[in-house]
Amino acid sequence: KAGVTQTPRYLIKTRGQQVTLSCSPISGHRSVSWYQQTPGQGLQFLFEYFSETQRNKGNFPGRFSGRQFSNSRSEMNVSTLELGDSALYLCASRTEETQYFGPGTRLLVL
């Protein structure tokens, strides 16, 4: 099976812009979780989608949003970008207790 894929891999934006990141889970996986990874804060949970519904949400402002499509692909959107949003954004799909991460999208906000 193909692994979790994420596009784009790298992105440069300026403050105030918005960005949409995409994630395709492993075939058959219905859960997609998103994490933000920064050097100082580690992996922080953003949200999880399961069967097109947001099942869990982390402690991030409303500028961060997401959705999941009927084919389990997921997108996350960040509006009004801030410098502090520069990070590696990881998505993961799972079976039982194992999460499978994609390679991530590295976002740089200038």
Partner 1 sequence: GQSLEQPSEVTAVEGAIVQINCTYQTSGFYGLSWYQQHDGGAPTFLSYNALDGLEETGRFSSFLSRSDSYGYLLLQELQMKDSASYFCAVRDRGGNTPLVFGKGTRLSVIA
Under the binding rule (CB under 8 A), the answer on residue 60 touching partner 1 is no
Cα separation, 90 vs 1, whole angstroms: 19
Under the binding rule (CB under 8 A), the answer on residue 43 touching partner 1 is yes
Cα separation, 71 vs 76, whole angstroms: 15
Question: What one-character DSSP code corresponds to residue 86?
Answer: -
Peptide bond preceding 8 in cis form (omega within 30 of 0): yes
CB nearer partner 1, residue 19 or residue 33? 33
- Please give the C-alpha separations between residue 50 and each of 30, 47, 69, in angstroms, as whole numbers: 6, 10, 10
| Smallest gap from residue 32 Cβ to partner 1 (A) | 12
CB nearer partner 1, residue 66 or residue 102? 102
Selected binder of partner 1 within 11, 22, 50, 86 (CB under 8 A):
50
Under the binding rule (CB under 8 A), the answer on residue 56 touching partner 1 is yes
Q: Give the footprint of partner 1 on this chain (CB under 8 A).
A: 4, 33, 35, 41-45, 48, 50, 55-56, 58, 90, 96-104
